[in-house]
Structures are given as structure tokens and as C-alpha cells.
């Protein structure tokens, strides 16, 4: 029985859609600033805990924070869900991806622990570089920002090294 090939958006269509998103984000009709998501976390925490921006220096550094970042994050989640369910028809819920099972183990705790740890290290690196991962990769690289290029290069080299080490791939 032949397996059904998943519908995929072509790379150039993804590029066009990302370009339109970035143009809208930078425009006066959009956010009028670069695309990024990490500033929403302190903004949201400030709203929940009623934090005074005058007392917290980081809250003062955020230029024009707003709920648009929360809408962006929810839109990315919703858009990914809609795309995987209705367009590519590849949606499946799993805590342990097949690659993890093949190269590591079947432990949910191990998978979630490593995911949290690696995500934590990556966001520390992104903040040290002056932004968040989405801000560096999307907005920063589209503007040819040096911090984004350095961050992207370090991430790619680290991915190759850790992939070979972590998955024990030879050759």
C-alpha cells in the first residue's frame, strides 16, 4: 500500500509569507517595530502581577510593549494547528517524537527535561545577544543585524555539534 505524501508549502511560498509578515510588522499599520516575542513575557507578568515599570529597569527598556505580541504568539500556535490539520494533514500529538525514540529513549520525563534545559540555555544565549530567538532569526537577519548574524551562526554550529554528540551520529 502506497503511503500518502503530506501536502507541503513550498519554500518560496513560506519566504513570501514571512516577508509579508515582516513588512506588516515593521509598517505603521502593524506594530511599527521589529518582530519578536520575548518582550511579551515581562509585559504579561507586569499585567498579571500589577508591576510598576518605574521599579523594574527591564520593563522600562521595552519599547512600546503591547498585547500584539500575545496575539502573535496565539496566532502562531493557531496557524500551526490549522496548517497541520487542514493543509498538510500531518497533525499528531505526541510527547516523544519518533526521532527521540530512535536515538534516545521512550522516557517522557527525559524528553521534557532535555527540552526544557536546552530551551532555557538557548533563550539565555538569545537574551545575551540582545533579543529573542524569533527576533534574531526573523527581524534581525532580515535587517542584516550583526547580533542576529552572530547569534544565528552560533546556533547553527551548536546544533551541528550537539546533534552529533547527543544523537551519537557517526560520519
* Mean confidence (pLDDT) of the chain: 79
Question: In whole angstroms, what separates CA 161 from the centre of its chain?
Answer: 20
pLDDT of residue 78: 93
Q: Sorting pLDDT into bands at 50, 70 and 90, what band is 3?
A: low
pLDDT at 1 over 60: no
Residue 133 has which C-alpha cell?
A: 530567538
* Alpha helices, H only, 129-167: 133-134, 141-142, 146-166
pLDDT at 43 over 70: yes
Q: Sorting pLDDT into bands at 50, 70 and 90, what band is 67?
A: low
In contact, 100 and 167? CB cutoff 8 Å: no
Percent of the chain with pLDDT over 90: 8
Q: Where is 26: in which H helix or E strand?
A: helix 11-26
Taking residues 28-44, report their average pLDDT.
73
pLDDT of residue 63: 59
Q: Sorting pLDDT into bands at 50, 70 and 90, what band is 75?
A: confident
Query: Looking at beta carbons, which pairs linking 141-149 to residues 24 or more positions away fall under 8 Å?
Result: 142/22, 143/34
Instruction: Give the whole-angstrom CA distance, residue 122 versus residue 97.
Output: 20
pTM of the entire predicted model = 0.62
pLDDT at 112 over 80: yes
pLDDT of residue 103: 83
Closest CA to 154 of 139, 133, 168, 135: 133
| Sole residue written with cell 500551526 | 80
pLDDT at 133 over 80: no
Amino acid at each position: 500500500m502506497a503511503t500518502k505524501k503530506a501536502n507541503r508549502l513550498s519554500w518560496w511560498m513560506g519566504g513570501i509569507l514571512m516577508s509579508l509578515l515582516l513588512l506588516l510588522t515593521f509598517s505603521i499599520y502593524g506594530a511599527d517595530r521589529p518582530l519578536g516575542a520575548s518582550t511579551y513575557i515581562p509585559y504579561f507578568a507586569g499585567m498579571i502581577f500589577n508591576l510598576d515599570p518605574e521599579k523594574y529597569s527591564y520593563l522600562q527598556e521595552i519599547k512600546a510593549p503591547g498585547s500584539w505580541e500575545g496575539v502573535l504568539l496565539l496566532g502562531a500556535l493557531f496557524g500551526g494547528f490549522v496548517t497541520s490539520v487542514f493543509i498538510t494533514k500531518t497533525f499528531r500529538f505526541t510527547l516523544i517524537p519518533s526521532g527521540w525514540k530512535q536515538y534516545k529513549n521512550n522516557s517522557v520525563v527525559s524528553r521534557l527535561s532535555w527540552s526544557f534545559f536546552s530551551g532555557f540555555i538557548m533563550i539565555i544565549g538569545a537574551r545575551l545577544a540582545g533579543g529573542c530567538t524569533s527576533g534574531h532569526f526573523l527581524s534581525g537577519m532580515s535587517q542584516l543585524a550583526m547580533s542576529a548574524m552572530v547569534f544565528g551562526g552560533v546556533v547553527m554550529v551548536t546544533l551541528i555539534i550537539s546533534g552529533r554528540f547527543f544523537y551519537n551520529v557517526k560520519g
